[in-house]
Amino acid sequence: MVLAGVGARSLELQERETPIALPGDVLVKVSACGVCRTDLHVIDGELPDVEPPIIPGHEIVGTVEQVGDSVQGFSLGDRVGIPWLGYTCGTCAFCKSNRENLCPSARFTGYQLDGGYADYAVADARYAFKLPHSYGDKEAAPLLCAGLIGYRAYRMIGDARRVGFYGFGAAAHIIVQLARKEGREVFAFTRPGDERSQGFARGLGAAWAGGSDEAPPEELDAAILFAPVGALVPVALQHSSRGATVVCAGIHMTDIPSIPYELLWQERAIRSVANLTRQDARDFLSLAARHRIQTSIAEYPLVDANRALEDVRAGKIDGAAVLVP
């Protein structure tokens, strides 16, 4: 399923030759690929420098069918995951300081590199990961972005005990489980009036769930904004205690409106999350298996990718959408 033009807002079914694994690459037969809100940003033309035709998808699970020269650590038949980060230079100041997520030369799966909305995908083997055996293919797919980016955002809240999640979709439904395992209290904010999502959040352990236009029962020590809505930043600050951190977890967000200084005062902070590192992946995949984090999925055939994307856009899914070739 191919994005044929910038801002096309829908994908086309195309037949292509099966790619090959060049030196350093693995060719993976795709068994599942999660649908991420970032895919919508790519398809809607909201991210810069999209160069169609491109195959979206960066929550890829499959088996290795071909191993390129010089590849180490993978063999034919290995099950692997391919995430958003697909390449870094390894030589810049960011790469050398364990911040490869900020590498100016980084390239990303399903954005600058063909992704997993297909029968086959090729990846630089250095950026692919073996997956915990405790997950099925479809269940593992959302871990590779919703889980990884959610985890990176979650790490930024430090030791906050009362945490607000604005937007309760694929990432939030994974990270709420981790937060509860660690004894934190979670307050879930959904679209106003979305009682279905609020019930889903409570079922996963949220202490309270309501609309983003409501006040939580207690002040927040931190908030994570999974919804790409800049207007929620001052809202989250308004409901946060002194010294709280508000983390913006999306790669794209609408503009943040003017913020009265009194909302930021008393050492409140706003932080953004950019991409992920390979160490994030190693840490989170191990943690998810150890804590038995579960994923809730809605399965779609690959050819129904456009329907899956629209359901994600409309907030119709509890958990994550996953495409299956």
Dihedral sign from CA coordinates of 215, 221, 226, 227: positive
Report pLDDT digits (tens) over 206-259. 999 999 999 999 999 999 999 999 999 999 999 999 999 999 999 999 999 999
Going from N- to C-terminal start, the domains of the chain cover 25-142+275-324, 157-272
> Following DSSP, what letter does each residue of 6-70 receive, concatenated?
TT--S-B----PPP---TTEEEEEEEEEEE-HHHHHHHTT-STT--SSB-----EEEEEEEE-TT
Does 159 have pLDDT greater than 90? yes
Question: Phi first, then psi: what are they for 132, rounded to 5°?
Answer: -60, 140
Q: Does position 7 have pLDDT exceeding 80, yes or no? A: no
User: pLDDT tier at 104 (50, 70, 90 boundaries)?
Assistant: very high
How many angstroms separate the CA atoms of 245 and 47, rounded? 26
Tell me the HSE value of 148 on the side-chain side, using a 13 A CA sphere.
Answer: 30
For range 34-52, the mean pLDDT? 93
Q: Two tokens at 153?
A: 């955002």
| pLDDT score of 66 | 98
Average pLDDT over residues 301-323: 96
83: helix, coil or strand? Answer: coil
> Residues 103-111: what's their mean pLDDT?
97
Q: Which helix (H) or strand (E) holds 107?
A: strand 107-108
CA distance 227 to 152: 16
> Which residue is it, tokens 């590192």?
277
Determine if the pTM surpasses 0.85: yes
Domain 157-272 has CATH 3.40.50.720: yes
pLDDT band for 163, please (50, 70, 90 cuts). very high
Q: What is the pLDDT of residue 204?
A: 97
**Taking the alpha carbons of 88, 34, 206, 238 in that order, is the dihedral positive or negative?**
positive
b (16+ CB within 10 A) / e for 3-33: beeeeeeebeeeeeeeeebeeebbbbebbbb
Same fold, 25-142+275-324 and 157-272: no
Q: Domain 25-142+275-324 belongs to what architecture?
A: Alpha-Beta Complex (3.90)
